[in-house]
C-alpha cells in the first residue's frame, strides 16, 4: 500500500492515497532528468530566470488554492499557509531578478601573464528530499537557485502532502518549464537511495530529521555525491539581565507557536536570567494559552492541529517522560479527547539532563524554560546541545549582544528578535543541525562547478 496519502490532521481520516513509482519508472525518470539537463543547461540564463519569475507570479495568482491544500494536508492555519505561499513566491522572484548577477564570471588576480576566470556552472540532475512542515518554502529554497543554475531536479516530497507535490509540479509546467527539468517522484526510501547512487545524479539536498540526514549522507558519501543537509534544531532563546522582558515574552509566544511549533528554527529552549524568570514564565504561559487553537480553515485561528497523530504522540511521549522524572507543567501537557492531532500549548520547567526534553528537539507547541544566574551560564546552557541551527538573544547591551552572538555555536543568531526566513538571508546550521547553506548568494554555490578557465 502506498505511503503517500492525504490525511486530515483535524480528524485523522485518510482522504486520498497515491501510487508510488515502480522500479521501472524510477529508471525512466532518471533518464528523463538526464536528457532534460542537456537542454536546460544550454538554455540562456535570461530565459531560465524568466521561468522562475513566472513561477513566482503563479504562486501569487494561485495563493488561495495552494494555501488551502496546505491547511488540508498538514493543518497549518490559513493565514500562515498564505504567508508561506507568499514567501515561496519571493524566493523564486529573488533568484529570477538577483540571481543572474551572482553567476557572472569572476576574473582572478594572478601572478604572471594571461588571465584566469572562474565560471559558475551547473552539475547535473539533483535529488531533493523535502519535509511536510513548509511544503512550498522548503522546495523553493532548493529548487529556485538550482533551476537558475541549470540543474534539473527530481523532487521527493513528504508522504503526507502529495496533493501539494502534484500542484507544485503542475505549476512548474504551467510556468513553461520543459518536461523533465522538474520531476515530482512518489518514491520509497529505497528507491530514493537508488536514485542518489545512480551515476545520473550529481547531488542531493535533504531537509528533515537528523535520522534521515544520517541515512542520506551515508548513501551520498558512499557514492561520492555532494550533499546539503538541513536538519533539526533545538534553538535557544536567551533573555539576559538587561533585556526588556515584556518584549521578550511578546516575541517568545509566536517564536514557539508559529507553524504549530513545527519548525526547525522555532525557539524551543528559553534560557532566562533569574531577575526575569518568574515574570517570563507567567507571561509565556498566559500568552501560549491564549494563542487561539481551533479550526485551521477558520479565519483568525492561530494554532491548528499538529501535522499527524504520530507527531502528536511523539511529542506527548517526550513531555510525559519529563513529567514522570519531575518536570513541572505550567500549562497544557496532555492532548484532549478530540479526534485528530491536537496538542495544547505547553510550558515545562525543571527539565534536567536526564530527561528526553533536555536533549531532544520538541517538534510541536511545547516550550522548556530554564533559569540561569549569569550570561556565561546562559551561553553554556545554550551550547549544551547536539544541535546548532539558530538562536535568539534578548539584551539591552549592544556589546553583550555581539559577544554572545560570537560565543553561540549556531549557524544563525538573531538579536532582540526570533528567527525568520528571507530570500536574501543565508540559512543553515552547525553540529548535528546539518551541512551546507541555502538562500541568498550561498544557495547558488552548493551544487555548482566552480570551473577555472586559464589563458596564458
| Segment 55-85, tens digit of pLDDT | 999 999 999 999 999 999 999 999 999 999 9
pLDDT band at 207 (very low <50, low <70, confident <90, very high): very high
Rounded distance between C-alpha atoms, residue 95 and residue 430, angstroms:
25
* pLDDT tens per residue, range 161-204: 999 999 999 999 999 999 999 999 999 999 999 999 999 999 99
182, β-bridge pairs: 153
What per-residue confidence (pLDDT) applies to 292?
A: 83
**So what's the architecture of 4-231+433-455 in CATH?**
3-Layer(aba) Sandwich (3.40)
Cell of 306: 499538529
- Residue with the three cell numbers 538562500: 439
Provide the 3-class DSSP secondary structure of residue 74. Answer: helix
Distance from CA of residue 285 to its chain's centroid? 26
pLDDT exceeding 70 applies to what percent of the chain?
100
d(CA 401, CA 404): 5
**253: nearest Cα among 285, 278, 275:** 285
For the segment 443-456, the average pLDDT, to the nearest whole number, is 97
Q: What is the pLDDT of residue 338?
A: 83
The per-residue pLDDT for range 424-442, each reduced to its tens digit, is 999 999 999 999 999 999 9
CA 329 vs CA 177, 321, 341, 365, 429: distances in Å: 52, 12, 20, 13, 30
Among candidate residues 130, 132, 165, 160, the one with its CA nearest the CA of residue 146: 130
pLDDT at 206 over 60: yes
Does pTM top 0.75 for this prediction? Answer: yes
Question: pLDDT, tens digit, for every residue of 210-223?
Answer: 999 999 999 999 99
State the sign of the Cα–Cα–Cα–Cα dihedral 396, 400, 401, 407. negative
**What cell was used for 397?**
547591551
Pick the catalytic residue: 84, 230, 438, 446?
Answer: 230
- Distance, CA of 209 to CA of 439 (rounded, Å): 20
The per-residue pLDDT for 2 is: 61
Residue with cell 507547541: 365
Q: Can you tell me the distance from the alpha carbon of 24 to that of 372, in angstroms, rounded to the nearest whole number?
A: 58
Per-residue pLDDT at 403 exceeds 50: yes
346 close to 332: Cβ distance less than 8 angstroms: yes
- CATH 3.40.309.10 domain position(s) in the chain: 235-423
Q: How confident is the model at residue 428, as a pLDDT?
A: 97
CA–CA–CA angle 348, 354, 355 (5° rounding): 35
Q: What's the pLDDT at 291?
A: 92
pLDDT at 1 over 50: no
Q: How many CB atoms lie within 10 A of CB 36?
A: 20
Query: Tell me: the pLDDT tens digits for 27-50?
Result: 999 999 999 999 999 999 999 999
Active site residue 264: yes
Q: Is 448 one of the catalytic residues?
A: no
Task: Copy the grid coordinates of residue 151.
Answer: 540543474
On the question of pLDDT at 255 being above 90, the answer is: yes
Does 3.40.309.10 match the CATH number of domain 235-423? yes
Average pLDDT over the chain, rounded to an integer? 97
Instruction: Give the Å distances, CA to CA, from 187 to 26, 78, 93, 194.
Output: 8, 29, 29, 10
For the chain, the distance separating the N- and C-terminal CA atoms, rounded to the nearest angstrom, is 62
The active-site residue, picked from 80, 210, 264, 438, is 264
Q: Pinpoint the residues of the chain covered by CATH 3.40.605.10.
A: 4-231+433-455
To 5 degrees, how large is the angle CA 326–CA 327–CA 328?
120
Instruction: Give every strand in the sheet of 115-122, ordered side by side.
Output: 106-107, 115-122, 448-455
- Average pLDDT (411-424) is 97
233-260 mean pLDDT: 98
Structure-block grid coordinates of residue 154 = 527530481
DSSP three-state, residue 366: strand
Amino acid at each position: 500500500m502506498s505511503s503517500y496519502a492525504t490525511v486530515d490532521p483535524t480528524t485523522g481520516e485518510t482522504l486520498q492515497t497515491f501510487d508510488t513509482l515502480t522500479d521501472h519508472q524510477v529508471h525512466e525518470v532518471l533518464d528523463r532528468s538526464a536528457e532534460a539537463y542537456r537542454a536546460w543547461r544550454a538554455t540562456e540564463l535570461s530565459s531560465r530566470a524568466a521561468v522562475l519569475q513566472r513561477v513566482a507570479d503563479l504562486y501569487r495568482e494561485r495563493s488561495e488554492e495552494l494555501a488551502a491544500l496546505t491547511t488540508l494536508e498538514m493543518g497549518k492555519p490559513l493565514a500562515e499557509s498564505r504567508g508561506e505561499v507568499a514567501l515561496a513566491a519571493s524566493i523564486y522572484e529573488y533568484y529570477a531578478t538577483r540571481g543572474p548577477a551572482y553567476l557572472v564570471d569572476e576574473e582572478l588576480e594572478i601572478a604572471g601573464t594571461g588571465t584566469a576566470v572562474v565560471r559558475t556552472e551547473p552539475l547535473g540532475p539533483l535529488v531533493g528530499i523535502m519535509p511536510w512542515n513548509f511544503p512550498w518554502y522548503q522546495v523553493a529554497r532548493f529548487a529556485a537557485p538550482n533551476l537558475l543554475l541549470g540543474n534539473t531536479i527530481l523532487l521527493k516530497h513528504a508522504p503526507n502532502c502529495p496533493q501539494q507535490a502534484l500542484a507544485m509540479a503542475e505549476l512548474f509546467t504551467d510556468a513553461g518549464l520543459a518536461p523533465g527539468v522538474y520531476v515530482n517522484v512518489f518514491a520509497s526510501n529505497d528507491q530514493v537511495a537508488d536514485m542518489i547512487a545512480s551515476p545520473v545524479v550529481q547531488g542531493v539536498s535533504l531537509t528533515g530529521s537528523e535520522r534521515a540526514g544520517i541515512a542520506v549522507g551515508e548513501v551520498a558519501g558512499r557514492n561520492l555525491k555532494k550533499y546539503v543537509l538541513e536538519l533539526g534544531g533545538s534553538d535557544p532563546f536567551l533573555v539576559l539581565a538587561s533585556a526588556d522582558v515584556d518584549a521578550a515574552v511578546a516575541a517568545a509566544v509566536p517564536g514557539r507557536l508559529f507553524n504549530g511549533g513545527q519548525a526547525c528554527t522555532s525557539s524551543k529552549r528559553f534560557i532566562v536570567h533569574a531577575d526575569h524568570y518568574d515574570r517570563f514564565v507567567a507571561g509565556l504561559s498566559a500568552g501560549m494559552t491564549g494563542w487561539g487553537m481551533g479550526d485551521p480553515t477558520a479565519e483568525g485561528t492561530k494554532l491548528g492541529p499538529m501535522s499527524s497523530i504520530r507527531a502528536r504522540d511523539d511529542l506527548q511521549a517526550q513531555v510525559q517522560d519529563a513529567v514522570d522524572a519531575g518536570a513541572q507543567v505550567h500549562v497544557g501537557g496532555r492532548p484532549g479527547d478530540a479526534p485528530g492531532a491536537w496538542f495544547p500549548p505547553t510550558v515545562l520547567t525543571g527539565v534536567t539532563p536526564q530527561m528526553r526534553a533536555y536533549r531532544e528537539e520538541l517538534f510541536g507547541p511545547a516550550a522548556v524554560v530554564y533559569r540561569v544566574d549569569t550570561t556565561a551560564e546562559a551561553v553554556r546552557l545554550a551550547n549544551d546541545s547536539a544541535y546548532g541551527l539558530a538562536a535568539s538573544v534578548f539584551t539591552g547591551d549592544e556589546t553583550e549582544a555581539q559577544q554572545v552572538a560570537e560565543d553561540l555555536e549556531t549557524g544563525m543568531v538573531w538579536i532582540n528578535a526570533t528567527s525568520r526566513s528571507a530570500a536574501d538571508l543565508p540559512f543553515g546550521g552547525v553540529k548535528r543541525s546539518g551541512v551546507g547553506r541555502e538562500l541568498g548568494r550561498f544557495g547558488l554555490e552548493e551544487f555548482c562547478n566552480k570551473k577555472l578557465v586559464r589563458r596564458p
